[in-house]
Chains A and B, each alone.
Chain A
Amino acid sequence: MSPSPTVPRPALRHETVLLAVVVLEWLCFHALGPRFGTLENSFDLLRHSAEIGLLALAMTPVILTGGIDLSVGSLLGLCAVLFGKLWRDAGLDPAAAAGCTLVLGALAGGLNATLIAGLRLPPLIVTLGTYSLFRGLAEAITRGADTFTNFPSAFLFLGQERWLGLPTQAWLFAAVAIAVWLLVHRTTFGRACRAQGFAPEGARYAGLPAGRQLAAVYVLSGTIAALAAVIYTARLGQARADAGTGYELLAITAVVLGGTSIFGGRGSVHGTLLGVAALAILNNGLVHARQPREVAGLLTGALLLLALAAGTGPKLWAARRARATPPPSP
């Protein structure tokens, strides 16, 4: 369907703008850093962004419902420590320990879910509480000093080696990305999440099981944080209570950069993936362009604000023009 010439040109879709930004970034750094475009560096990019990417993927449905989960970074730390504890002290083999860690992550997410969906407490406050609680638990379990290390190489394979040509964790990341994309964009659950974020009261009057849905997104977020913890531990070969410090904000930045409204209701998983890519390329590329690391923070902020303005600015302008000259009736 081609637009009739009288209808004002709609703004570019946010994801399109962001894609252009990602491509531009890529070309820019490709020109500046001779090794930026190498396959090896692309694998580094994938490895370094897998954990934050996973957290951002899980954060997308949470923010779509109009909520937020500030506890994921701390939960990553707690799960890393629990994983280490299960493997070293309880004597489980890494696969079993990883399985238990996922269950524990789901339980921790369940705590958020109970407080938010059950007691109807605001997500910001609840997860601010668990943000401190989870980190505190991780520090208490290790007394701040215990470090888990010397993992078997079969486990480190997950974080440091390649499988079928790609970094091992990239496969897991891709699987989760596809699953979350399908969940958000192709199921009634995803639509209900959006409805919930767009108009909570409306969703309730429409008979949607708002409580169960809300609970599910936080449990999902907890489980994926646990998965990220296992991958993180395999990548570093070390689990300590300070793992994942500050990751929640990076994940939220990626989601918002990806065009998801912080008020809920609007957004997409592919947008989030592009957001993760934009941030990862920026961080990595600056090193290749031999620029100081401090610049990354500055440019991340500028990129976020510019992308948001580029996404909404033309839309506002188009809307204003549409109001000024109402389109003739067909």
Chain B
Amino acid sequence: MGRAARPRDPPSLPLMIKPALSLLLCGLVFLAGCGRAPEAARDAGGGGKRLTVALLPKSKGNAYFISCRAGAEKAARALGVELLFDGPTDTDPAKQNEIIENWITLGVDVIAAACENREGISTALRKAQARGIKVITYDADALPDARAFFVNQATPEGIGHTLMDEAARLTNAEGEFAVILSTLTASNMQEWLKHIRARLAEKYPKMKLVAVRPCDDQKDKAQAEATTLMSAHPNLRLLMNICSPAVPGAAEAVKQAGKAGQVKVIGLGLPNENRRYVKDGVTDSVILWKTEDLGALTVEAAVALARGALQPGATTFRTAAGASYEVKGDQILLGQPFIFNRANIDQFNF
């Protein structure tokens, strides 16, 4: 090689294997490894083995999924199954697929995935199904043909109604309120807003929705919008924030305006990013689901699917612990959202 041409180089040794030879060796080792394949596969597929459930989060370090995992581990222990939890630690969108493909080779029994790329991941999930592995999704769905069930943490109706009911409870069902959302065009925002409006028209005639403002998913913009809303509508009783950055944004605006308690703040978000405002009495309630329950239900459903206790077409799903969940089509519903407030927020860390 190039090095050899240099005069001060030492002469070659028998130990110096030529590149072609080294590659050949490499290949030999590779083949030697492959030779063992069939028996190893048979061993692992044996009958007395514990059921293995593989749980895939969108990203591994995310506090939301860490708390899902905690619930999932409890359920796995109770059911006597082995739980694998692995997910991407960086932003490479191909990682979820690679992890699933590794699990297929490992020979897990069920894969439960929260999907970052709806279409891309479906390729890998279909492959898993073709190899006889059961697949369910949770948190974010794949394409319907790539999984048996989707564990749906919240329906748009459930979210819309819970938000509106909570707003009514805090304002004694009268007065003006405003909504801050991410963008006017986002489909989930539209869907939630539709159900908020329907509930308002149906049950709370004395309440009035005076404005709907976008914050582009930015906390500082939400803060500015909230400030403007409070000065434009002096009788405003409540700010309803239906995207997570808007909740602390609006709370900061209310706090700085000295209107804590006078203008209530509620919204969809994570307990951790709102804890300070909830404890200070600025934000009244943060609405989400119990992520631990989501993780636990996912594992329960995965195990039931693998053991044949959960079949397509079911209308209810009864867990081993005895809890019952509604099944709508191919979606298992976690149920009504959970309301985090001053009294209970310290029990949650995500």
Residue of chain B at shortest CB distance from A283: B98
Given A42-B33, A236-B94, A293-B89, decide whether A265 and B119 contact each other with a Cβ distance below 8 A.
no
Interface size bracket, B side: 35 or more
Cα–Cα, bound, A243→B210 (Å): 43
**Do B93 and A42 have beta carbons less than 8 Å apart?**
no
From B19, B25, B30, B106, name the one whose CB has the most chain A CB atoms within 10 angstroms.
B19
Given A147-B119, A149-B120, decide whether A293 and B86 contact each other with a Cβ distance below 8 A.
yes
Q: Which of B2, B17, B23, B36 interacts with A191 by CB under 8 Å?
A: B2
Given A38-B37, A246-B90, A268-B1, decide whether A48 and B101 contact each other with a Cβ distance below 8 A.
yes
Interface residues of B in 113-136 (CB under 8 A from A): 117-120, 122-123, 127
Cβ proximity bits A1-45 to B, threshold 8 Å, 1 near / 0 not: 111000111101101100100110011001001111111111010
Contacts of A265 in B (CB 8 A): 2
**Do A7 and B117 have beta carbons less than 8 Å apart?**
no
For residue A85, CB closer than 8 A to chain B, the reply is no
Cβ proximity bits B25-65 to A, threshold 8 Å, 1 near / 0 not: 11001100110110011011000000000000000100000
Binds B, one of A91-99, A100-108, A206-214, A284-292: A284-292
A217 vs chain B, min Cβ distance (A): 16
**Do A34 and B91 have beta carbons less than 8 Å apart?**
no
Residue of chain B at shortest CB distance from A232: B94
**Do B99 and A287 have beta carbons less than 8 Å apart?**
yes
Cβ proximity bits A276-318 to B, threshold 8 Å, 1 near / 0 not: 0100000010011010111001000000000000000000001
Interface size on A, residues (CB 8 A): 66
**Do B120 and A12 have beta carbons less than 8 Å apart?**
no
A167 vs chain B, min Cβ distance (A): 11
**Do A270 and B93 have beta carbons less than 8 Å apart?**
no
Given A42-B34, A237-B123, decide whether A19 and B25 contact each other with a Cβ distance below 8 A.
yes
Which A-B residue pairs are the 3 nearest by beta carbons? A10-B10, A238-B120, A37-B33
Interface residues of B (CB under 8 A from A): 1-3, 9-17, 19, 22-23, 25-26, 29-30, 33-34, 36-37, 40-41, 43-44, 60, 84, 86-94, 97-99, 101-103, 105-107, 117-120, 122-123, 127
Beyond the given A7-B11, A44-B102, A198-B2, please list 7 additional residue pairs across the A-B interface where CB-CB is below 8 A: A2-B14, A19-B22, A44-B105, A147-B119, A238-B119, A246-B92, A293-B89
Interface residues of A (CB under 8 A from B): 1-3, 7-10, 12-13, 15-16, 19, 22-23, 26-27, 30, 33-42, 44, 47-48, 147, 149-150, 156, 160, 185, 191, 194, 198, 232, 235-238, 240, 242-243, 245-247, 265-266, 268, 270, 273-274, 277, 284, 287-288, 290, 292-294, 297, 318
